[in-house]
Structures are given as C-alpha cells and as structure tokens.
Structure 1
Amino acid sequence: MISPLLSLSNQIRTQKLPDYRRFLLQQIDFSQRLIGVMGARGAGKTTLLLQYLKSVTREIKVLYVIADHPLVGQYGLFAIADEFQKIGGELLIIDEIHKCPHFERDLKLIFDSFFSLKVIFTGSSATAIDNAKADLSRRAMLYHLPVLSFREFLELETGASFEALPLATLLQEHVALAMEIVSCIKPLAYLPAYLEHGAYPFYREAGPTYLPRLLNASMQVIEMDIPALYPIDHDKVNALKKLMVMLCQSEPYDINISKLAGAVELNQKTLYKYLGLLQAAGLLRLLGAKSSGASIISKPEKLYLDNSNLFAIFCNQPKAGTVRETFFASMLSYQHSLNYPKSGDFLVDEQYVFEIGGKSKTKQQIKTETAAWVVADGLEIGVEEKIPLWLFGFVY
C-alpha cells in the first residue's frame, strides 16, 4: 500500500516550482502537529506546500498524498497514516482532503493516535472543517490562502517588492504611501490586467488558456466539490450555475431574493443555503447576511462574485461600478469584516465607511459619517479623504 504512494510522493516533490512565494508561507506555524491550509481552487495551496517541502531536510520522512488517489479511496486516510508511521514516517501531507469521505473523522483519529506524526492538509472549504462533527477545528491550526492581492500581482509582474499596508496606516498616510509606490511603478497601468486575469497565480503559466482553466476550475467546484461536501441533489447543480450567471449580470444592490429564487426554481430557504455553499466554496461573497456554517439565516443585503476575474467566465460585460466594488471587497475581506452601511457602500470592521466610485466621486452620499472615505477608481494619488482604489490592493 505504502510503496506506490511513496514513489508518487517522491515524483511530485521533484516538480519545478515557481520562485515566487505567497505571503502565507511565512505566517504558518509549521511546528504544529495538525495544520490545514484552506482556500479556493487555483489559489496556490498545493504550490505553497510543495515550496515548504523544499525546506524540509532529507532526513525527515515525508509522504505527499493526493486525496482522490485510488489507494486512498480503497484503504482510507487512517490506514495509510498508520502504515506510514510504522515505517518511521514523520510528515504526512494530504492534498485536497475535501475529496475524502469522512476526512474529519480520520484526521481526528490520526491526531489522537500518532503523536510523532505531523499532518498538513489542504482543502477547498474552511466551512466544512469548521463544522466537522468530530470537532476537528479544535485540533487543527487552520489558515486561509486568498486569491492574489493586487500587491502580489505587481510583484510578479515587475519583480519589485512591496510591503503590505495595514488598513489603519493606509487610511492615515495614503497620500505619502501612494506617492512612494507611484515613484516606482504606475499601478493604474497594471490594474485592468489584474481585474481580468490576475487573481489566481496560475495566470502566469496559463497565458491565453487562463480563462478556460478558470472556468474549468469553477465548474469543478460547482459540480464536484460542493456535492462532495454537502448534501445537495445533483439535479440542482444547474441551479448553482444559473445563480452565478444571474448574480454576475446584476448590480450588487439590485438583488431581489424572491425573483432570484423563482428564476432558479428554488424556495427562499434553499436559495439561502445555496448562496452559503457558493460563498464557502470561494465563488460568492455575501454582505449583511448572518451565517450558520454554510447556510445563510438572514437576507443578504449585497451579493458579489468572490473576485473580479470571475466576471469574464460568468457574464460578458459587467458594470464598471460592480467590478470596482468586487475588487474592494475581495481585497478587504481577507483580514477585515465587511457589512452594508446605512449610507455608503461598505462598513469595514464596524467603524470605517467607504463609498466606491469613479475619479469624480464626492463625499455627498457619506457626508454625515465621521470616519468615512471616498475610494476612487482612475485616481493615481489621493487627497484628504479620497483614496485611490488600487491602493487597497496592498492590504495583504
């Protein structure tokens, strides 16, 4: 059982890897016994772990397993871990663990049984881990790998290095910070490319095949990942696809839940559940809705695609305002909470109000707010409480 898996593991570890390393690689505490790296398909989870393995000394016995390998399906994760630790195995890496039935039970047993075995796994949905019946989240250190930030995209495109900007610092010093960055590069020259094809690291190798590959990855999420993790009838998969197309074509604040439910032939309770599934899978972002795991239990005020690259595969010509807001939400949501305020477009961390618009946007709609800023597209350097949209791509 172990020999063919070890052979494949060694082959996988010899692959040539990108030189660029995502920021999360430096933040993970690899001393922990059970580590999970969650994130959307294509975000770079596999690459990140293979890069980590390059730093692991040859003396440490490693097994890298792809979760949908036939031997994993035949024997199960626990039996494989047991055999591996019996031959002195020290580090077990399981890629795409969401493809394993009962993975939470097996991980719990492995953690509780083999104290000298370190396990690192990747998965496409943190929600499935958080809600695991076996209380896995209490044992595992979970990390989330988001899509590429605009800052990371610029580093890949230019070879330059840029520091991530804490939001509070950005708000206080945005003029000086923007001037410093603009003195090195012209961010506005790169932003359209990022919005279209820069959110997932594989854009560099994919070239003209990027959008077909992104479409394929998204379809795998809808057709395979979600049904594997949650009880959903396969005949309802088309409803998920139709939801994505309709939301792509709509304004974020122009969503009528009743009409949407009718259009995709779902009742509102099921619609809320499916919206939650799409958000957990990294395809949608919901503002203003309380959630319980992968289910939405209150009406969302705004619905966005997870990132701006998804527009190109789910609808042809998105509105400029929708793309701007999607970019802002994608960049801020990784480290901050987002809600829909009484005035403005976003309430961040329950204290900062932002109104998103074009270069000529004013504070008229948020003039009564105390901690409020205009976020302007097409603006290179801001002034006072008007900040260029691109700069928020530097928050991680």
Structure 2
Amino acid sequence: MDKEIAELSERAREDAKAYPKKRFVFAQIARYLPQRIFIALVGPRGAGKTIILKQILLETKNCIYISLDTQKPENGIFSFAKQAEEEGVKLLLLDEVHAYPGFEMEIKKISDFLKINVAFTSSSSISLHDSSYDLSRRIRPVYVPPFSLREFIYFEKNESIPPLSFEGLLSETAAKEYYGNTIHSEALFERYLQFRNYPFALGKTDLPPIFRNMLETIINRDIILTGRATPQEAMDMRRLMAFIANSPVENMSYTTIAKNLNITRYKAEKYCELFEKAFVLKRVRPKGTNVLQEPKILLALPYRLLYKNYRDCIGAVREDFFTDSMKFLGFGINYLKSERGRKTPDYVIDDAVIEVGGIGKSPSQFKGYPAKKRIILTHPGKIDALCRPLYMAGMLEKSTM
C-alpha cells in the first residue's frame, strides 16, 4: 500500500478525535456500513461530509481514507482498492470523489470484481446525475444537508430537542404542546437564517466572505472544470445568481431571467439546473398536470444574503428556509398559482396547503384549492387554529413521519 496514503489516513483518523459530536444523518449512515452497499454521501460544500468520513474511519476497523482532491492513487482507484483488499482492508473511504476523472468506472469495477466496501463523498451531484455508467444500482445515496434549525441548536447550544412530526405541525393541539416546550428556540431562528446553517460557521463571525468563496469554488471547480459550462457561461451564471437574489420570488422564471440577462431561455434553464445539482438553488414545480408551467426558483440558504440585506429580503429568505427544510426531508412539494396565474407563497405538501408569511397574513390565497388542512407559517410565531410558528419547519424529522 502507498506509504503516504497510509500515513495521511492515520492523520485523518486523529483529526476525527476533535469532532466528538455527530451529524444527525450519521446514524443512518452507520446502519448501512455493515451491508454490501456502496454509500455516496452527497451534499453541498461545507455540510461536513469530510468530517463524517473521518468519524467513520475512527470508529471502523480495517478501514482506509483517501482525499482525492489532494491524493491520486498511482495506478488508479481500482488497483489501490484491490491491493487494500489483499492487505485486509474491508472499507475504503474516498473523499471528494468527483475530483478524480473517471471515478464512475473505477467504482463500477470495484463493485463488479472486489468484495471491499466503499463510502465516498461528492460536493456535487452533477457527476452522479450525468454518469454514463449505471451507478444507481450500485450505490446508496445519502443526502448530507446543511444544519436544520434543530441540529444547529444541538451543535450551537448543546441542547437536544425532540423532533416534531409533520402531522404534529398540522395539529393545533400537538403544535401548541411543542411550542410550549421549545418556544425558547425561536430566539435563535433569525441568527440561524443569517449564515449559520452550515457546520463550518460554528464559532465564526465574518461569514459572508466564506460563502462567496464557496460559491466561486462551486462555479470554478464543480461546474467549469467538469466541463458543464464554459468560463464565459460562468460569467452569466454569476449574473444569474445576483438577478435571482435581487428579484421578487413570485416574478422569477426562465423567461424573466433570459430577458434580463440577454441569454436564451435554454441557457437560463441549464444554469438553474446546474446550480440545483450543486445545491445552490432549487426549483419547485407548480401544482397541476400542466408540465409546461415554469417552476418557482428559490435560492438555498444563505446565498440570497450575499446580495441583499436580510431585512430587505426577509420574505424571500423565509421561503428559501421553508423550501430547503421540505426538500431536505424528501417531501414532494409544489407551489400554488393564484386565479390570475401568479406565483404565491402557498405550497402543497401531502394534501396540506401551507403558506409562508409574516404574522399579519390572512388565508385569502387559500381559496379555490381543496385541501385537508390549511396553515400559515408565521414569524414572529403565532399559534391558533390557522397559524403555526415558522421556526417549527426547522424542527421536523422525516423518520418520525
């Protein structure tokens, strides 16, 4: 085995000792490790995937770690895995696998010809989506999201708060009980919304420059270097981000982007798709069967705040937060259009209509759509037959639903 790789793997093992706390997703990953499953940890840059791999390394025997953005096995990943297996290694941990050209074929060969298990990370789902090899049958993707509000409180305040189910959010009785037990958490909500939803933000102060650099890394490394866009297109993608951030959410569409940036509608859709696969924005489809209707385009937290002051875009940030939370939990989410065809802050989830807004919202926009339950998520929090505190969307957990 390569001596340098072995030495750096031991350093990574030692590094893990500095991180005794584990992300909530770690328990799910640990359940897969004993199985013959290749695990793909996929999520945005800065979500803590590297630390998770190192924590696995610390707790697992016969395991070795390679960071592929700085180390390249001399004869390829497959040859290294074969040699490692011959030396008794049972689990190979590959960090930043998308930095290795042709990694898909290497993983396919390991799956086909070796018994060693593999867990790997990628800060971009672009390569996994676009692979010409059928990796879907060979890997189990595990999404590593940024912090939920509940997880942020766990890491920031060392407080373990029980999760809330989606049914509990809809139930006035259950929501009131949960609110009574967690109302102190609402005081941390606005702090969380402003650049605090990533693990690396813990204990830091000047965060906007870090996120600007991360966005540039996504554009330059995850998109340009992988051949998904040219340097000229990257300039348009930067303009697209600024335009989306500075525009009202309800007015955003491919057509609007194309017109204002002087690009084709095809390019606007392409750039949004690339940014979505890199976890920078998300597209929410309208409710209904008309697939030609354009999606609602929202940014992932906290990218909007790189372009606008929090108080100047608080409504959009609230929608960014809510749609992030639902997407992270794997909900099918759609938005509703008004009777005149305008986009609204009303979302349909599991036959419930949920409106995101401030404390003064009324249910007027709910008219015309049959739903089993209708609620308004408000901030500051209010709770009655119709309203729920918005922060509760950050306290949900999928496994309880």
Distance 1:300 1:199, change over 3 A: farther
1:319 aligns with 2:322: no
1:1-396 to 2 correspondence within 5 Å?
2-15=2-15, 16-28=17-29, 29-33=32-36, 34-56=38-60, 60-72=61-73, 74-115=74-115, 117-172=116-171, 174-205=172-203, 207-288=204-285, 300-307=294-301, 309-317=302-310, 318-334=312-328, 335-343=330-338, 344-349=344-349, 351-369=351-369, 370-396=371-397
Which amino acid counterpart does residue 30 of structure 1 have in structure 2? L
Aligned partners of 1:245 and 1:314 also within 8 Å: yes
Normalising to structure 1: TM-score of the pair? 0.89
- Deviation at residue 70 of structure 1 after TM alignment: 4.4
- Deviation at residue 14 of structure 1 after TM alignment: 0.4
Render the CA deviation track for 1:207-266: whole Å, top value 9, x for unaligned: 123322222112101111122445321221111111111111111111253342244342
Aligned partners of 2:249 and 2:296 also within 8 Å: yes
Render the CA deviation track for 1:109-152: whole Å, top value 9, x for unaligned: 1111111x111000123353244221011111111111110111
State the SS of the aligned residue for 1:81: helix
State the SS of the aligned residue for 1:303: strand
Aligned partners of 2:347 and 2:354 also within 8 Å: yes
Aligned to 1:294: none
- Deviation at residue 299 of structure 1 after TM alignment: 5.4
Distance 1:222 1:300, change over 3 A: farther
Aligned partners of 1:38 and 1:123 also within 8 Å: yes
Aligned partners of 2:354 and 2:377 also within 8 Å: no
What do you get for the CA RMSD once the two structures are aligned?
Answer: 2.3
Which amino acid counterpart does residue 324 of structure 1 have in structure 2? R
Distance 1:127 1:349, change over 3 A: farther
Which amino acid counterpart does residue 78 of structure 1 have in structure 2? F
Normalising to structure 2: TM-score of the pair? 0.88
Paired residues in the alignment total 382
- Deviation at residue 311 of structure 1 after TM alignment: 2.2
Partners in 2 of 1:214 and 1:175 — Cα distance?
Answer: 40
Distance 1:3 1:12, change over 3 A: same
Distance 1:289 1:79, change over 3 A: farther
Which amino acid counterpart does residue 323 of structure 1 have in structure 2? V
Distance 1:372 1:321, change over 3 A: farther
Aligned partners of 1:289 and 1:298 also within 8 Å: no
Distance 1:256 1:24, change over 3 A: closer
Distance 1:238 1:289, change over 3 A: farther
Instruction: Give unmatched runs, 5+ long, in structure 2.
Output: 339-343
Partners in 1 of 2:6 and 2:20 — Cα distance?
Answer: 25
Runs of 4+ in 1 over 4 A off after TM superposition: none
Instruction: Give unmatched runs, 5+ long, in structure 1.
Output: 291-296
Aligned partners of 1:287 and 1:301 also within 8 Å: yes
Partners in 2 of 1:198 and 1:300 — Cα distance?
Answer: 31
Aligned to 2:341: none
- Deviation at residue 362 of structure 1 after TM alignment: 1.3
Which amino acid counterpart does residue 217 of structure 1 have in structure 2? M
Render the CA deviation track for 1:90-115: whole Å, top value 9, x for unaligned: 21100111111111111001111111
Render the CA deviation track for 1:34-82: whole Å, top value 9, x for unaligned: 11110000111111222222321xxx3222111122434x532222222
Partners in 2 of 1:88 and 1:230 — Cα distance?
Answer: 37
- Deviation at residue 321 of structure 1 after TM alignment: 1.2
State the SS of the aligned residue for 2:164: coil
Distance 1:12 1:298, change over 3 A: farther
How much identity, in percent, do the aligned residues show?
28
Aligned partners of 1:43 and 1:147 also within 8 Å: yes
State the SS of the aligned residue for 2:375: strand
Which amino acid counterpart does residue 87 of structure 1 have in structure 2? E
Which amino acid counterpart does residue 317 of structure 2 have in structure 1? V
Partners in 2 of 1:298 and 1:101 — Cα distance?
Answer: 36
- Deviation at residue 312 of structure 1 after TM alignment: 2.4
Partners in 2 of 1:230 and 1:289 — Cα distance?
Answer: 31
- Deviation at residue 204 of structure 1 after TM alignment: 0.9
